Structure 1
Amino acid sequence: MEDTLVPIVVVGILFLGLPWIIFHYVTQWKKNGSLTVEDENLLDEMHVLARRLDERLGTLERILDTQDPAWRPRTADRTRDEEWRRDN
């Protein structure tokens, strides 16, 4: 009797328990996979803050360029900065 009970329990765990656990967590993941309203609001605030900081940095760079044109080293990044200024 005990010799047949162990394989039945193992088969039950493998074919019933394990898929149930996997499907349970997959459905939980799909249900909670999207952003909440609070997360979206936080991302919007961070985006606005990043824009403001980017504008401030651009303003400071323009002021420094007018006061001292050689304040930053001449590198390949210079062309990227000039393209950025042209676009904005």
Structure 2
Amino acid sequence: MKIENDKQNLHFLMELYQKMIAINKMTLKHSEEELDEVKQLNLPPVKKGYIDIEKDLIENIKNRKQEINDYEKKIEELIKMSYFI
């Protein structure tokens, strides 16, 4: 019974991580498209105290890529764990 629960938990986590990867990829694509649009606007340099949209989008893209990488590593770990159950 415990083995079956462990397998179900692993399967649930794997599906969850796959969904998180899909969400992050969607967000990443949207942020990349927004960044392209912002770059095309050729906005003047950002004044002190104002939000730098381009910088924020670049940071968002970096974070999404890191999260995708993290979830992919977690899936790899789950696959390795599944061999021992």
Query: Normalized against structure 1, the TM-score is what?
Result: 0.40
Over alpha carbons, which structure has the higher Rg?
A: 1
Larger relative contact order, structure 1 or 2 (CA cutoff 8 Å, min sep 6): 2
